[in-house]
Structures are given as C-alpha cells and as structure tokens.
Copies of this chain bind each other. A is one copy, B any other.
C-alpha cells in the first residue's frame, strides 16, 4: 500500500497541473474503451456473479453486483457527462487589494489523493474514477471483493483512457487485493491520502470513520423530517408528504418522520393517514396523532404507537413516524434532537416561520414547501454526485466536483515586504 500511496501522490502532482482538455480527452477515451470492451466487461461480471451465487450471497447484493449491457452503456455515458461538466480546478475568486499593496485571493485546487472504498456496485469504479480525475485528484479505489473481476476489467478501460490522453496510469489505481488489511492501510496513511470517501452501508462507513487517520467525507443516516406548520397551504401538504414518503422508500432523502402542528393536526392528519394507508405505509404515531388517525378510520397493523426509538429511525421502508407538536419551536427542537442532519422540510405560508426553520434547523439541507426527495446532487445542479455528506466540516449535503477540491490562498505582489 505504501507503493500505491507513493505512486498516487506522484500522479496527483501531474493531475493538479493537467489541462482541462487532457482530463476531458481521458474521460472520453475511457467511455470509448468501455463501449469497446462491453463483452469483456460482461464476461468478467458474469464470473463475479457466478462466484457470488455459488457462495450463496443474498439477492440484494447480487442485484447491486449485476452489470447489464445497459449498465455498461450507462457507465460510458456517465464518463461523457463528467467530461461535459465545467472544470473546477484553477478558478480564482475573491481577489482583493489589501492596504499593504498585495492582492489576496483564492484558487480552487484538487485535494490531492482521494481514497474511495465501496461495496458491490462495479459502476462506482467508473463513476468515482471520473469524478476524481475531473477534479484533478489521483484516486485509489477499493471495491468489494465480490466485484473484483468486474472492477479490474473497468480499471483496464480507465487506464486505456488515461494513456490515450498522456496522463499517468497511476492516476487511478484500482486495488487488486481484497485483503481487509489493505483498507486499514489505505485509511491510515495521511502522507499519501488526503481524504477517504466511503460509499456503502452504514456498517462500512462507521467502521472506516472510527479507524481512519485521514479525513473522511461520510454519509450516515438519512432520518429526514417534514413539518406541517399551522400556516401550511392545504394544497401543498398532501402532494409533498406523499412524494417525500412514498416516491421511493429506500433512498436517504426519503422522509421518515412527519411532524404536524397541533392547530392543524385534526384538519390534515385524516387525509394524510388515508393516503398513507392506501399506499400500505405503516404509521407509528404519538398518542395524539394515534387518536386522530383512529378517528379517521385507520387501524389494524397499519397503525401503532410510536416508541422513543421510532423518532431516531431511518426505516428505508414503507413505515413513517408521526408526531403532533405544539408548533414551530417544538418542531425545530424535535428535529435538532432526533434528526441525522440530512434533510428537513417545513410546509408553511408564514414568512417568519419559514425563515426561522431555514436558519435554526441544523441539517445539511433545509427546505420550505418542497419534497425532501430533492436533496440530490443532480437536482441541486451539481452535475454529478460522489455522495451526500452528513458531516459539517468541509462538505455538507450533496457533494459534487467542488467537494473534491479545496481552495488555497494566492497573493499577487509587486515586491511588497511586511512592515
């Protein structure tokens, strides 16, 4: 791993100075290599799948591991999309002249070497390589052992693209070892690795965060909230609650807890309850909400009392926690106590309630009158997404190319010395 790290560090110097043209040419050449290698990629993936099935791995994992012809084309198209994004590196901003005479500003620069640790999905290999390259970073990628053959086949296309553009092939290194110790080494060499981005389940992320000696851009839970304020517009409530909870159950920006202001709970909870029941969403409600939902005829397995644990839960399933709160203050307090800091929305027509919610809720994304499902790099216009950060330091919320960069200070002088 020391050798891998040293080569990545050396490649990162070249990449930091690489022209936008060279990086884009490499991305386009990678896309071409992937299309040209479709059969080889599918064969490698079939071998991985056969082994995974023989080992009795579960269907969800098999599903994530599977690469189809469409998936191969998707990877190639994704590389071309990243080529089309603006290059963040080298951008100079905020230049100001100081009383001393110097002009001080900032220049956007790559982080250096990015380590990405992921699980079964082989498309992450192409995706992560593209984002790191475009942002001028060398990448060390370590995928799941189930996807080893698929990842190595993709890595070969990535190297073909780098070589075609005259960039060092060590700019993207896909580890061939599936040894767990390699991960341990990767996350503890700050001299060679500037940041780690784990992509995968909570277990992976927690383990890496607790063992890393390198900064980690991490995404833990998405326990997202919608708060229906006492000044909510009735026309917006049902569509947004429905979309936020039921459009997709397994995504991190799906709403898991619904808070309703006491003054409007009788008005809205019956409609919300019936809508959720019709979609087979299980409701876990506080005593007050429970009573209102029962009055509306919701009963049986679909409705049960919420426990303290429910307010903490990221269900990733057709289940929602529902609580009646006194109003805005209690809603903010509830969210700041139980939320994982991912995404929260207020539904209100009250200006000051909206502005206070935006200011006082301590989450990565805070919304007024919109579905939490919008918390996404593409919806936010980042053009790409390496992940969604629930950290506060460096990058918060959806992380695009800019999140893989930093800014250094630049000084344009004319012979000034300090007095």
Contacts and interface: CB of A to CB of B under 8 A. Distances in A.
A235 B415 contact: yes
A13 interface: yes
Given A359-B90, A359-B107, A380-B104, A393 B215 contact: yes
A37 interface: no
Contacts of A364: 408-409
A327 interface: no
A336 B358 CA distance: 42
A396 to B, nearest CB: 6
Contacts of A182: none
Contacts of A194: 392-393
A155 interface: no
Contacts of A233: 415
A416 B380 contact: no
Which among A17, A111, A195, A406 has the greatest number of chain B C-beta atoms within 10 A? Answer: A406
A84 to B, nearest CB: 16
A27 interface: no
A415 B375 CA distance: 15
A394 B393 contact: yes
A156 interface: no
Nearest to A9: B336
Q: Kindly report how many copies of this chain are found in the complex they form together.
A: 2
B365 A418 contact: no
Given A215-B393, A380-B98, A381-B104, A365 B409 contact: yes
Nearest to A356: B17
A294 interface: no
Contacts of A345: 411, 413
A210 B408 CA distance: 24
Contact of A413 (B107, B370, B381): B370
B408 A374 contact: no
Contacts of A16: 359-360, 362
Given A13-B336, A16-B362, 18 more contacts: A17-B359, A102-B379, A107-B366, A109-B359, A111-B393, A215-B393, A240-B417, A243-B418, A345-B413, A362-B408, A364-B409, A368-B412, A369-B412, A370-B412, A370-B414, A380-B409, A393-B393, A396-B407
